[in-house]
Amino acid sequence: MCELCPKAPKGWIGWIELPEAEPCRAAGPWFDLTHAVGPDMPCASIFPKPRFDKIRSLPDDPFNVTEIHMVAHAGTHVDAPLHYFEDAPDMASIPLGRLCGPGVVWNIPKQMDEIIEAADLEAARPLLRPGDILAVDTGWAKHFGTDTYDRHPSFSAEAAAWLLDKRIKLLACDFATPDLVYHLREPGFDWPVHRQLLANGILICEHLTGHDQLAGERVEFQFSALPIVNGDGAQARVSARRIEDD
């Protein structure tokens, strides 16, 4: 491990202080940024695949009822601070204001296993503002359903520290985890991106899709995640629309 990298926090620090979001003025329709929920939804290879079973079916029964078996981190979802810290808030405890608001979509193209560094973020536009939500489009959503999808880019620990310094509200990415891709991790790996962000109440959304059409713009986001009691994560219907920029 890099001895000069920012140290990952060992416990919950608290919700980072953010400015109150200004009202957004819509400048276009809502876009759905969510993978469809079903047995073929994206799911990290370390987790069991989602399963959907019909336990009541028409016409033999008076109605249809589906039983769902899946981890809270399958498909487009939000991570709660509880995901990495036992004393941290669960999904049901996340204030609504932390799941919506203005922000930006950045296009930062990357190849297999490449790292998003702080310099990549520094060069991206439009500029981040304190309290913004950031969605990063690396082009990886198009690989969903192929073997390449598991060789996604990731963020460096320094990039996570840069985002913390910018006081963002939420980071959304178009792949399975902002931390180093599984097959590149060395012994002692401690998930520095998740830990730096979640310890300070900066939420993380994974498996975002469709945000490439909003790249380079300021938008309003909604991350409608389920308020699961003791939930370390939850599936979310994510949407965004262009807004007027002052």
Q: Is the pLDDT of residue 6 over 70?
A: no
- 60 in a domain, yes or no? no
pLDDT in tens, 84-103: 999 999 999 999 999 999 99
Asked whether residue 189 carries a pLDDT value surpassing 90, the answer given is yes
For residue 187, is pLDDT > 80? Answer: yes
pLDDT computed for residue 246 by the predictor: 73
The answer as to whether 160 is a domain residue is: yes
Contacts of 141 (CB under 8 A, 6+ apart): 174, 175, 208, 209, 210, 211, 212
Q: Compute the distance between CA of residue 136 and CA of residue 128 in angstroms, rounded to an integer.
A: 12
How far is 143 from 129, CA to CA, in rounded Å? 30
206 closest CA partner among 44, 96, 49: 44
Indicate whether 8 belongs to any domain.
no
H-helix or E-strand spanning residue 240: strand 233-242
Position 45 in a domain: no
pTM as predicted: 0.96
Place of tokens 């520290």: 161
Predicted local confidence at residue 64, as pLDDT: 98
Range of the domain at 221: 31-40+72-242
36's CB contacts (< 8 A; 6+ apart) are none
- Does some domain include residue 12? no
For position 4, what pLDDT does the model report? Answer: 46
Split at pLDDT 50, 70, 90, the class of 10 is confident
**CATH value at residue 213:** 3.50.30.50
Q: Say yes or no to pLDDT of 2 above 70.
A: no
Report the 10 Å Cβ neighbour count for 157: 24
Return the percentage of the chain with pLDDT > 90, whole number: 93
pLDDT, one tens digit per residue, over 100-119 is 999 999 999 999 999 999 99
pLDDT at 1 over 70: no
Determine, yes or no, domain membership for 67.
no
The domain total for the chain is 1
**Residue 143, in any domain of the structure:** yes
- Please say if the pLDDT value at position 8 is more than 50: yes
Instruction: Note whether residue 107 is domain-resident.
Output: yes
